[in-house]
């Protein structure tokens, strides 16, 4: 997901806000968002600007490209434009300068626990190693190993070192992956964690139509990386949809962030002792939990007013005890953000939760929930705690609030079990009672026709032509040949019945989409678009029928348009039987029984498809083979028709836009005069 | 009319004297002045108090004096020096020698007492006429308490009259609009700077700070920035002007939509303090604030000087669209903004030469000028802001989401009263049918039936009064939600270009100021007849130029209309509560709600200061922004303790989760059950504190790292520890993030 998409997504949220709210903001110049289900919601400020470091002692920075926190608590800054490494305290006091005279364009810096400082220099095409006093003790240059690649570049941009002393180096223009070198010898150990090429449909299409201009599909180089205390490498690759990765020893991504929560604009990453991941784009900072859940999204672009907390181009990020140090390569400053009381409470709760201390985490989660009732993670935390304490109803409600489907499902299972246990006897008695009442009624009816009015009413309804035409659709379920014959020759179907059935299908579609339970509804919470659904149904059903008719009309088909339209709509009969069942089940089943929903849906759709096929065949009196052929041609024609409609729509909209502009302008001029 | 007549008389008198002077061949009338010494910046921290040589100071001649202050003038450049007679400390308004490194525009600004920017044709850029580079004629006339100067620039055929009057605590400077004349129709006055470099310093020559009215207030330290900053503080007084500023509307939809806009300037003031010389001044824009900008330039931004000033905008260059889609021509607003420019400079000296001293001086000024005339400064109250009903989209129609019914609100207030929280200051938002956001503007008294209707609201009012509190209904006569109020959008406010002012893609517009005034007066009558108080939102914190029927109206016109509308509440019943209002409306408010607690965090600011709270302390009840949404609630509580401001809780009976799909989904925490204990704690602690404070105001504030000491005018000291470790202040032990009342011995 690119930041542009995110901005659009958030803009929609902003539009939902309506008028400018009167909830006053704090002094922090950016909004903080958190994930809540599949949307972002505003939350309290997580980190707020504390100080801005614009000078390191007597030194100003120039185009700084990297910042790392050493185990000695000092900041190591690659002052790229000044060809040096500045070492500073966390308040910006200068400690020492490293690499002057050796470095040309240091882009990456890393300090080991032993105090060695590794510097990746793009221009020098080397990684330099300095000791604690700043003396150069080693230099790693381009490996001459044949597997490194004859044309592979060695222009180090970032470097990290694991506990064994092996170096992981990213190189500008080298798309083979992270270069892994052995300590001391500099022996090339291989490439690690390469990005894979991503050929999507659009790229394939461009390749198809641009044969002369070859469109290269190259994997993206790793942009930045970090290493955690467990030795796992975290990478970000700008331009990759799966930008943020956590690599295992085999170089495979084990974070597997959903694309929606992974931003292709990431350029910097760091990991805390607790495992939380901080990644940054040029202007935004995102905090993930150790499990990869998006916790906070914050900061924003500098709007030219130079306010603390806004950035022009972040190039590096480091975190110490919750304090974030953000390096800005254009403003040549380090902005320090400190955690608020709110985020401290969130981290406390998470720490207890991740240690399995669910009950102990309840209090901090409740504090978090008090401060933000829409904080989904608090819902999950409280849900787990309630679940462990066997408060299943509370757990269900909390999981619902946390948009946690699995937790909700587990809680629902327990709630349902409890309910069944408490009510089975009553249910059975009620069922038996109903059967008994029915038998008694029937028995009594034989003696005195007390059900006669009901029968009369039923007969009257059945006598209504439209009603009988609608119920005739059920004939499809048992004998599609009879159904087709009846519609074609016995007038047992009409436009009226077809439209009623189409409307019924629409109603079932809407109920299934919006009201089939938290676990199985397909529409996002709180979003309703009945008009859009109606248009969708009309287009998806109407256009193929028209195209099918047009195709069959020139392919010796016998069916009139009415026959085809009514026949196909009547073929939806399985939906009318099965979908209500699916909707009801959706409200009572858990994810463990999702198979039933899938199964019934499969039956409904397959059966309907077969009946549509049979209807087209019987109405036109085609063979099986010809019916297949006609259907495929119809699908193709439908696609072409959709394209044409789209083009015409665009043209009409432009004309309409122009007309509206002219009218508005005229009205405006009149109003002005 | 009287003012115009008086101005015309003054001009006529000046013109007569000017003609006499011209006839006698004297282009400049001034007392003899000594040679101007070259400007030599003193070394860092050096205090220069003793350059006084009787009637002349730095080449400036004494022109007026009273018991406290002396006013010196260097007439050729209308440069003044103001000197405190008791301490000998003084401040200068111009620089002696221009720096070759600065371009003529900047040289003109800092070498002239008054600088005029003019618009040539329809150029989008202003040109500058000053008393240093630009040919001019000047006549100066002396009075016992100051002087007047008539300036004329023959080349651009523009003239004006400056009137400077010495006051007991400083001086005032005026340029009456009637005194400005433009003889060339192609050249018009764009803007005026009056004594922009008053109190300026060079790099880090003096210790001190610039005070800017950013939210609560902020200070910019006077130190050598070594070129770290390249952006000045430049903000419109009273917020943006969407009727003119196209870019403001664009910013809502630009790439940075989620950047929080900087705090608006609520008070038309700025200041400069030289702490090492123990002198400072507060610049108050007494007239013309509607069209003023406050600028503060730390050194390194354009020049090496630190300076702050107001700038008065007389004409705007606008981009007149030629069609709906694209194309525009640049043009000027058809007539100048109405500005009778008047600046008041109040000087503080000795130990009052701090931002606290400036705030105290401002408080006294506001009191003197009647800004708190409607205020009802009562004993401490806790603020409860109820949200009634909102609406959300549902499958077939909009669904009401009842967050707090009137009876639930009663129940909540009774529960609080049972726990000692009585006399609550209650706001009720979303009390009308359709909710707080969906059916704007508020046009009539129409309580939502789903909340309990009129009877329920009356019952709530009775309960509030029975418990000693007061209830205000939130009304918003300004915003139009087009979807639900398309008819009202026909009255939408239009820009100077004639286009409507749209927000959120046109889904929200604004009622035109005349219509806003009409609605406000109608609401005042309807609520007043039923004895309900009102809390007016949005309108008090919005000010824009507009056009109607092709005629341009400036912000002065809008301000007059808004003031007229809001004044109607007092006429029909009692003064309303105002939400985060601009200072020009404070005189109409009984209390101020949702006031900012900090500032905008500019990189060049040294820290935020509670100027606004100090300036209003003891004079008008001030409720800060909602406690709910503070990420640092302990720190926020200490802020309340420190400033004497009152807390406001946004409360609903139902869980805020229900608001997720409503237009008010920015409210993510509000349920009463979650806040009950906190309200009780806040109320008990703050009631005790305020029982000591009474109606006193803050007179001193000292900051020493995380320790803050506050002295109130009744002698009470309050100590606060914002740090993470224990501290002892004057023998009083303070735990981390705590406070103590220190008695009357500081």
Q: Which pairing describes strands B79-84 and A294-298: parallel, antiparallel, or unpaired?
A: unpaired
Q: Which of A3, A21, A22, A653 to mutate to test the interface with B (most CBs of B within 10 A)?
A: A22
| Average confidence (pLDDT) over B380-396 | 90
Closest Cα in chain B, distance from residue A344 (Å): 10
Q: Which positions of chain A have pLDDT values less than 70?
A: 1-26, 198, 210-216, 664, 667-673
Tell me the CA distances in angstroms from B550 to A661, B122, B560, one per residue in order. Answer: 20, 19, 20
Contact of B86 with B69, CB cutoff 8 Å = no
Residue length of chain B: 746
Please tell me the distance from the alpha carbon of residue B528 to that of residue B566, in angstroms, as a whole number.
12
Q: Is A514 on the interface with B (CB under 8 A)?
A: yes
Going by the DSSP 8-state scheme, the letter that residue A37 receives in this structure is: T
Pick the closest to residue A190 from A164, A211, A166, A159 (CA basis).
Answer: A166
| Average confidence (pLDDT) over B116-121 | 90
Question: Tell me: the pLDDT tens digits for B479-516?
Answer: 998 888 878 888 899 988 888 888 877 788 999 999 99
| Nearest residue of chain A to residue B594 (CA atoms) | A24
Angle between helix A594-620 and helix A530-553 axes, rounded to 10 deg: 30
Give me chain B's average pLDDT, please. Answer: 88
Q: Is A303 on the interface with B (CB under 8 A)?
A: yes
Q: Which of A9, A13, A15, A18 to mutate to test the interface with B (most CBs of B within 10 A)?
A: A18
Contact A309 B601 (CB under 8 A): yes
User: Tell me, what's the pLDDT at B229?
Assistant: 86
Please tell me the distance from the alpha carbon of residue A27 to that of residue A49, in angstroms, as a whole number.
9
Q: Does B730 have pLDDT greater than 50?
A: yes
Contact of B481 with B497, CB cutoff 8 Å = no
Going by the DSSP 8-state scheme, the letter that residue B196 receives in this structure is: T
Residue A649 pairs in a beta bridge with: none
The number of angstroms, rounded, from the C-alpha of A95 to the middle of its chain's C-alpha atoms is: 45
Chain B CB contacts of A55 below 8 Å: 226, 228
Contact of A224 with A267, CB cutoff 8 Å = yes
Q: Does B33 have pLDDT greater than 60?
A: no
Angle between helix A561-570 and helix A594-620 axes, rounded to 10 deg: 160
Residue with tokens 């690599």: A247
Q: Is A402 on the interface with B (CB under 8 A)?
A: no
DSSP A81-103: GGTEEEEE-TT--EEEEE-TTT-
Cβ count within 10 A of residue A397: 18
| Average confidence (pLDDT) over B700-709 | 94
User: Per mean pLDDT, which range of A660-669, B56-65, B557-566 is the poorest?
Assistant: A660-669
What DSSP element (H or E) covers A278? strand A277-280
CB pairs < 8 Å spanning A and B: 214
User: Per mean pLDDT, which range of B68-72, B118-122, B452-456 is the poorest?
Assistant: B118-122
Please tell me the distance from the alpha carbon of residue B285 to that of residue A560, in angstroms, as a whole number.
83
Closest Cα in chain B, distance from residue A136 (Å): 33
| Nearest residue of chain B to residue A401 (CA atoms) | B657
User: Tell me, what's the pLDDT at B542?
Assistant: 95
Reported confidence tier of residue B16, pLDDT bands at 50, 70, 90: very low
The CA-based dihedral angle spanning residues A214, A217, A221, A223, taken in that order and rounded to the nearest 10 degrees: 100
User: Tell me, what's the pLDDT at B323?
Assistant: 60
Please tell me the distance from the alpha carbon of residue A177 to that of residue A180, in angstroms, as a whole number.
9
- Compute the C-alpha angle A105/A106/A110, nearest 5°: 175
User: By three-state DSSP, how is residue A28 classified?
Assistant: coil
Contact of A108 with A117, CB cutoff 8 Å = no
The token pair at B343 is 């600046």
Tell me the CA distances in angstroms from A220 to A156, A197, A285, B231, one per residue in order. Answer: 15, 8, 22, 37
Nearest by CB: B669 against A11, A309, A370: A370
Nearest by CB: B631 against A20, A340, A510: A340
Residues 6 or more apart from A426 whose CB is under 8 A from it? none
Q: Which pairing describes strands B114-120 and B90-92: parallel, antiparallel, or unpaired?
A: unpaired
Question: Tell me: the pLDDT tens digits for B646-664?
Answer: 999 999 999 998 998 888 8
Contact of A494 with A468, CB cutoff 8 Å = no
Going by the DSSP 8-state scheme, the letter that residue B645 receives in this structure is: -
User: Tell me, what's the pLDDT at A354?
Assistant: 86
Tell me the CA distances in angstroms from A421 to A415, A426, A428, A433, one per residue in order. Answer: 10, 10, 12, 20
A272 in the Ramachandran plot: left (φ > 0), alpha (ψ -120 to 50) or beta? beta
Closest Cα in chain B, distance from residue A613 (Å): 34
B residues 596-625 lying closer than 8 A (beta carbon) to A: 596-604, 608, 625
Tell whether the torsion through CA atoms of B711, B715, B717 and B718 is positive or negative: negative
Chain B CB contacts of A309 below 8 Å: 601
Cβ count within 10 A of residue A107: 26
Cβ count within 10 A of residue B440: 28
Q: Is A21 on the interface with B (CB under 8 A)?
A: yes
Q: Is the ipTM of this complex over 0.85?
A: no
Give the max Cα distance, chain A.
113
Contact A664 B626 (CB under 8 A): no
Residues 6 or more apart from B63 whose CB is under 8 A from it? B31, B71, B72, B73, B142, B146, B147
Sheet with strand B717-721: strands edge to edge: B698-704, B707-712, B717-721, B738-741
Contact B668 A372 (CB under 8 A): yes
| Nearest residue of chain A to residue B497 (CA atoms) | A672
Question: Tell me: the pLDDT tens digits for B709-719?
Answer: 999 999 999 99
Contact A43 B603 (CB under 8 A): no
Contact of A243 with A262, CB cutoff 8 Å = yes
Nearest by CB: A528 against B258, B395, B660: B395
Question: Tell me: the pLDDT tens digits for B599-616?
Answer: 998 999 999 999 999 999
B residues 482-541 lying closer than 8 A (beta carbon) to A: 498-499, 503-505, 507-508, 537-538
Closest Cα in chain B, distance from residue A519 (Å): 19
Task: Give the global pTM.
Answer: 0.85
User: Tell me, what's the pLDDT at A670?
Assistant: 67
DSSP B340-382: -EEEEEEEEEGGG-SHHHHHHHHHHHHHHTTTTTT----S---
Contact of A339 with A57, CB cutoff 8 Å = no
Going by the DSSP 8-state scheme, the letter that residue A42 receives in this structure is: E
Residue B60 pairs in a beta bridge with: B57
Please tell me the distance from the alpha carbon of residue B213 to that of residue B608, in angstroms, as a whole number.
10
Nearest by CB: B504 against A15, A41, A55: A15
Question: Tell me: the pLDDT tens digits for A487-508?
Answer: 888 888 899 999 999 999 999 9
Q: Does B123 have pLDDT greater than 80?
A: no
Closest Cα in chain B, distance from residue A441 (Å): 40
| Average confidence (pLDDT) over B174-189 | 93
Q: Which of A253-257, A282-286, B197-201, B226-230 is predicted most confidently?
A: B197-201
Contact A44 B598 (CB under 8 A): no
A residues 430-489 lying closer than 8 A (beta carbon) to B: none
Reported confidence tier of residue B321, pLDDT bands at 50, 70, 90: confident
């Amino acid at each position: 997901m690119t930041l542009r998409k995110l901005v659009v997504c958030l803009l929609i949220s902003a539009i939902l806000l309506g008028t400018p709210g009167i909830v006053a903001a704090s002094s922090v110049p950016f909004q903080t968002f958190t994930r809540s289900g599949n949307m972002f919601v505003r939350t309290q400020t997580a980190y707020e600007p504390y100080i801005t470091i614009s000078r390191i002692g007597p030194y100003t920075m120039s185009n700084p490209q990297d910042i790392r926190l050493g185990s000695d608590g000092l900041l190591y800054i690659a002052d790229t434009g000044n060809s040096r490494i500045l070492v500073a305290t966390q308040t910006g006091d200068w400690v020492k300068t490293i690499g002057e005279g050796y470095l040309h364009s240091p882009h990456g810096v890393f300090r080991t626990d032993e105090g060695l400082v590794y510097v990746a220099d793009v221009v020098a095409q080397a990684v330099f190693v300095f000791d604690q006093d700043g003396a150069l003790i080693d230099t790693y240059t381009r490996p001459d190993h044949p597997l490194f690649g004859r044309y592979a570049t060695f222009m180090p941009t970032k470097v990290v070192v694991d506990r064994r002393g092996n170096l992981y180096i990213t190189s500008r223009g080298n798309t083979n992956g992270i270069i892994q070198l052995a300590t001391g010898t500099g022996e090339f150990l291989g490439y690690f964690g390469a990005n894979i090429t991503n050929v999507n449909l659009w790229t394939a299409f461009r390749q198809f139509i641009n044969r002369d201009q070859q469109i290269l599909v190259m994997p993206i180089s790793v942009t930045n990386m970090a290493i955690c205390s467990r030795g796992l490498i975290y990478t970000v690759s700008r331009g990759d949809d799966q930008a943020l990765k956590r690599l295992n020893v085999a170089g495979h991504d084990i974070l597997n962030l959903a694309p929606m929560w992974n931003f292709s604009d990431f350029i910097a990453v760091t990991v805390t002792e607790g495992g939380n991941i901080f990644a940054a784009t040029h202007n935004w900072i995102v905090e993930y939990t150790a499990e990869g859940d998006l916790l906070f999204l914050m900061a924003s672009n500098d709007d030219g007013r130079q306010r603390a907390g806004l950035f022009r181009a972040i190039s590096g990020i480091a975190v110490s005890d919750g304090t974030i140090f953000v390096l800005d390569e254009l403003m040549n400053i380090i902005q320090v953000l400190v955690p608020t009381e709110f985020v401290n409470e969130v981290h406390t709760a998470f720490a207890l939760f991740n240690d399995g201390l669910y009950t102990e985490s309840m209090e901090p989660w409740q504090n978090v929930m008090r401060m933000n009732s829409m904080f989904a993670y608090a819902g999950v935390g409280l849900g787990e705690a309630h679940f462990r304490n066997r408060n299943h109803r509370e757990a269900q409600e909390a999981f619902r609030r946390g948009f946690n489907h699995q937790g909700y499902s587990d809680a629902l299972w327990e709630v349902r079990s409890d309910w069944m246990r408490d009510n089975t006897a009553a249910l059975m008695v009620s069922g038996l009672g109903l059967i008994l009442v029915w038998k008694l009624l029937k028995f009594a009816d034989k003696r005195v026709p007390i059900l006669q009015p009901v029968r009369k009413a039923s007969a009257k309804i059945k006598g209504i032509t439209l009603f009988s035409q609608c119920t005739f659709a059920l004939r499809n379920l048992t004998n599609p040949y009879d159904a087709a014959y009846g519609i074609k020759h016995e007038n047992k179907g009409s436009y009226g019945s077809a439209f009623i059935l189409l409307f019924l299908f629409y109603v079932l579609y809407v109920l299934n989409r919006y009201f089939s339970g938290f676990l199985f509804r397909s529409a996002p919470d709180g979003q309703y678009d009945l008009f859009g659904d109606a248009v969708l149904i009309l287009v998806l059903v109407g256009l193929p029928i028209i195209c099918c008719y047009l195709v069959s009309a020139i392919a010796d088909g016998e069916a009139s348009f009415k026959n085809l339209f009514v026949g196909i709509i009547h073929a939806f009969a399985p939906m009318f039987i099965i979908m209500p069942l699916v909707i009801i089940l959706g409200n009572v089943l858990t994810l463990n029984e999702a198979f039933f929903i899938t199964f019934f849906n499969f039956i409904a759709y397959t059966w309907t498809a077969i009946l549509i096929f049979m209807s087209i065949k019987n109405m036109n009196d085609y063979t099986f083979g010809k019916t297949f052929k006609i259907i495929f041609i119809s699908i193709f024609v439908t696609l072409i028709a959709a394209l044409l409609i789209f083009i015409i729509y665009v043209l009409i909209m432009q004309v309409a836009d122009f007309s509206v502009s002219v009218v508005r302008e005229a009205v405006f001029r009149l109003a002005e005069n | 009319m009287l003012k115009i007549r008086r101005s015309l008389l003054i001009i006529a008198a000046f013109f007569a004297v000017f003609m006499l002077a011209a006839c006698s061949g004297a282009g400049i009338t001034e007392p003899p002045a000594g040679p101007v010494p070259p400007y030599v910046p003193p070394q860092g921290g050096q205090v220069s108090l003793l350059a006084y040589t009787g009637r002349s100071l730095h080449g400036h001649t004494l022109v007026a004096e009273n018991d406290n202050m002396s006013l010196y003038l260097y007439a050729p450049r209308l440069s003044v020096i103001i000197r405190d007679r008791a301490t000998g400390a003084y401040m200068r308004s111009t620089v002696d020698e221009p720096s070759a490194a600065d371009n003529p525009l900047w040289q003109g600004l800092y070498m002239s007492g008054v600088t005029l920017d003019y618009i040539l044709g329809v150029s989008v850029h202003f040109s500058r006429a000053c008393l240093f580079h630009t040919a001019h004629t000047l006549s100066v006339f002396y009075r016992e308490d100051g002087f007047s100067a008539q300036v004329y620039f023959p080349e651009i055929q523009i003239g004006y009259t400056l009137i400077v009057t010495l006051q007991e605590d400083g001086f005032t400077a005026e340029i009456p609009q009637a005194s400005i004349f433009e003889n060339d129709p192609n050249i018009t006055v764009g803007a005026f700077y009056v004594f922009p470099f008053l109190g300026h310093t060079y790099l880090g020559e003096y210790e001190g700070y610039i005070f800017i009215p950013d939210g609560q207030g902020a200070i910019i330290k006077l130190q050598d920035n070594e070129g770290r900053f390249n952006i000045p503080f430049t903000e419109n007084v009273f917020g943006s002007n969407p009727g003119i500023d196209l870019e403001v509307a664009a910013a809502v939809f630009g790439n940075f939509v989620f950047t929080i806009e900087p705090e608006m300037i609520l008070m038309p003031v700025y200041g400069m303090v030289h702490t090492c010389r123990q002198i400072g001044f507060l610049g108050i824009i007494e007239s013309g604030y509607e069209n003023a900008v406050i600028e503060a330039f730390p050194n390194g931004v354009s020049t090496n000087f630190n300076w702050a000033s107001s700038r008065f905008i007389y004409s705007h260059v606008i981009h007149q669209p030629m069609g709906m889609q694209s194309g525009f021509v640049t043009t000027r607003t058809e007539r100048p903004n109405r500005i009778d420019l008047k600046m008041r400079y109040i000087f503080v000296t000795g130990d009052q030469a701090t931002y606290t001293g400036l705030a105290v001086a401002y408080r006294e000024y506001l009191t003197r000028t009647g800004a708190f005339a409607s205020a009802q400064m009562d004993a401490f109250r806790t603020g409860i802001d109820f949200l009634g009903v909102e609406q959300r989209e549902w499958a077939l129609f909009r669904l009401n989401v009842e967050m707090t019914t009137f009876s639930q609100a009663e129940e909540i207030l009774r529960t609080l009263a049972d726990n000692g929280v009585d006399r609550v200051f209650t706001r009720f938002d979303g009390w009308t049918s359709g909710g707080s956001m969906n059916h704007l503007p508020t046009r009539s008294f129409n309580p939502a039936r789903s909340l309990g209707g009129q009877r329920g609201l009356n019952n709530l009012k009775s309960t509030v009064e029975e418990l000693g509190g007061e209830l205000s209904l939130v009304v918003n006569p300004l915003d139009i939600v087009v979807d639900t109020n398309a008819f009202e959008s026909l009255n939408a406010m239009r820009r100077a270009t004639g286009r409507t002012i749209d927000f959120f893609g046109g889904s929200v517009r604004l009622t035109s100021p005349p219509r806003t005034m009409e609605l406000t007066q109608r609401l005042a009558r309807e609520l007043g007849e039923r004895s309900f108080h009102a809390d007016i939102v949005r309108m008090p914190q919005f000010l824009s130029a507009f056009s109607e029927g092709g005629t341009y109206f400036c912000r002065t016109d809008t301000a007059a209309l808004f003031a007229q509308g809001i004044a109607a509440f007092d006429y029909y019943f009692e003064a309303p509560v105002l939400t985060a209002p601009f200072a020009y409306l404070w005189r109409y408010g009984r209390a101020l709600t949702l006031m900012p607690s900090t500032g905008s965090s500019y990189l060049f600011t040294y820290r935020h200061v509670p100027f606004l709270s100090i300036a209003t302390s003891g004079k008008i009840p001030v409720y800060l922004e909602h406690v709910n949404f503070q990420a640092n609630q302990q720190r926020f509580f200490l802020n309340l303790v420190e400033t004497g401001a009152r807390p406001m809780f946004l409360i609903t009976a139902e869980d805020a989760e229900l608001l997720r799909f409503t237009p008010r989904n920015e409210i993510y925490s509000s349920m009463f059950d979650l806040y009950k204990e906190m309200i009780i704690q806040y109320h008990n602690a703050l009631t005790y504190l305020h029982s000591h404070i009474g109606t006193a105001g803050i007179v001193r504030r000292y900051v020493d790292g995380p320790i803050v000491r506050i002295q109130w005018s009744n002698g009470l000291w309050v100590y606060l520890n914002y740090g993470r470790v224990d501290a002892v202040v004057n023998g009083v032990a303070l735990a981390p993030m705590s406070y103590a009342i220190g008695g009357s011995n500081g």
